[in-house]
Structure 1
Amino acid sequence: MAKRRPDPNQLALDFSPWTTERLIQVLNDRGVITSPYILSISAGTLQDPSVPYSPRSYSFPVSVELVDGAVRLWLRTPATGALPFVKRVEAVLGVRAVWDESRVGAVDARWHHAVDLVTDGRWRDLLDSREHTEDRMIVRAAQLGLEWGKMKPYEAREILAALGIEEPADRSDAFLFGPTGLRPCRSVQVPNLYLTSPVEGWGMVHAFEDGWVRTVKGHAKVTSAYWQRVDGRAAA
Structure 2
Amino acid sequence: MLKVGQNHVLSRALNAYPSMDKYHPDLRTALEILKEMAAYAEDQHPLSAMDFAPDSEWARALQIVTSYGHGVYSFPYLSESFCKDLMLELDCMTYSVNEAEPYEAQIPEVTFMTECRPLFDCLHSLWANAGIPLAKVLLAQDPSELRTIQAAKYTPENTPRGHWHNDKDSDVTLVVALTATHSGGGTLVHTGPFSENIVVPQLPVGHGMFFNGKAHRHYGMPVTAGERNLLVHWSEVK
Bin the TM-score by the shorter chain: under 0.3
Say which structure is richer in helix.
Answer: 1
Say which structure is richer in strand.
Answer: 2
TM-score, length of structure 2 as denominator length: 0.22
The structure that has the greater radius of gyration is 1
